[in-house]
Amino acid sequence: MSRARLFIENFVVYGLGSMLSKFVPLVMLPIVTRLMPDAGYYGYSDLSNTLVSLMQPVAIMGMYDAMFRMFFERDDEDFKRRVCSTALFFVTGMAVVVALCMVLLRDPIARLFFGGAEFVNLALVSAATVLVAGNNTIIQAPTRMQNKRLVFVVMNLSIALLSYAVSLPLLLAGEYLMALPIAAFIVAVFSLVVFAVLNRRWFGFRRFDLGLLKTMLAIGIPLMPGFLFYWAFNSASRVVIVSALGVGAAGVFAIAAKVGQVSQLIYTAFAQGWQYFAFSTMKDDDQVELNSRIYEYLGAASFLATALVIAVMDPVYRTLFTAEYAGGIVCVPYLFLAPLLMMLYQVAVNQLLVVKRTWPSLVMLASGAAVCVVLQLALVPVLGIEGAGVGTLCGYLVTNAVALAWLTRMKLMAVPRRFCALGLVFGAFFAVWRFALMGDTFALCIAFCAFAAVCAYLYRGELRGAVRKIKKKKEA
């Protein structure tokens, strides 16, 4: 199989299940917001998810990425089983410890995250979700590592549908506070049970290997703080907004983030297919050139997709949501582009995993996370929830800039000048939207067409090559 076909199949087909699982919540979002009395309830549910996303990486300790890396180290099934079993043994222990700590500290956690001890039940449900979801991450990994696309598509769609089969009746019954967190826990349990049955042959505590664990921890531990930095990028904004503006504003921002994260459909499809492609081609002679080309093409596609969203988002957003959530429109472009910048960063930083030298990723993420949090603390009181979007986007831009500079110096990446030129043109388009054309859909559509023409000109060689290939296939 050609590398182009391998990449496309994993990007599109393997990622389809994850895309569907993200698409269902987007479709259901207007229904959920209308069932809740006000934005504050959605804000509390989002804060529960924020807590889970903070503690789950602590439980996993970078073991998922280390497991993926070591799985492809040898073509030996017994070795692969020892890798999977060792990862599960370690993560199970860590998940139990983290969940117990959350239970013991439920009162201070409820006060810190939710604003009062009366929300202790949210802290307890979050602890249970961390326990189950941490193990589920490892249990389902063999399905991804074996590239079982159909299983992944069916499971992800089933999980998404089950989530709303649980949460909607609870919302209709008036359980506005607990409906979404309880649904998240039940879905995590369902997923764990199904994947445990499907992948049972890969796990066995007798196959635990202490020596292998040391090797995997050497890869995983330097990555673990990186996941905490990811949390700062994606979730610290909620804490800042609650502190400065209140839970209602956090709910409005959470809805804008959900809509903006339509790009998660692209990112998730990429993420689920990328690791298999990346590690299966890591020993190719032109691997650096290949990785750099993928970074460039995905970057161009990200800029183009964001420009399109900016052009059409205003009428779509106002149609889907009530006036209470209209203040979140301005945040959508920032939060749409952010996951795509995360995708680009992961393409670049994968080079460090290939050479088993992951510690520089901490510097890259720390620099961006620091910029993100500082800007959010400074801008949210001044700009409102838009300040959180600005901080998030700037943090990812800094992270990508540091990563490219570092990896280029290590001769692990080589991004051409035309991509930098495209980035400058996109920056100009973004500024024109924010300061001159916001809300003017017709003018923004014209500006988008102009930007698309610039993209087509810069990548005219690739477009001509693609057209020639299509013509040859039709003639054949």
CA separation for the pair 405, 36 (Å, rounded): 47
CA separation for the pair 191, 121 (Å, rounded): 23
At residue 76, the pLDDT reads 84
Write down how long the chain is: 476
At residue 278, the pLDDT reads 52
Residue 189 structure tokens: 């349990």
pLDDT tens per residue, range 178-192: 999 999 999 999 999
Type of residue found at 176: Y
At residue 116, the pLDDT reads 84
Any idea which of 2-6, 257-261, 284-288 has the lowest mean pLDDT? Answer: 2-6
> How far is CA 77 from its chain centroid?
30
CA-to-CA dists, residue 433 to 173, 303, 335, angstroms: 43, 14, 15
Any idea which of 14-28, 226-240, 350-364 has the lowest mean pLDDT? Answer: 14-28
At residue 267, the pLDDT reads 64
pLDDT of 238 strictly over 70: yes
At residue 67, the pLDDT reads 87
CA-to-CA dists, residue 472 to 31, 225, 272, 465, angstroms: 47, 49, 31, 11
pLDDT of 153 strictly over 80: no
CA separation for the pair 206, 88 (Å, rounded): 12
Q: What is the DSSP letter of 119?
A: G
Residue for token pair 């959605």 = 42
| Span 117-136, average pLDDT | 94
Residue 282's CB: how many other CB atoms inside 10 A?
Answer: 16
pLDDT of 92 strictly over 60: yes
CA separation for the pair 66, 68 (Å, rounded): 5
pLDDT of 5 strictly over 90: no
Q: Which of 119-133, 146-160, 231-245 has the highest mean pLDDT?
A: 119-133
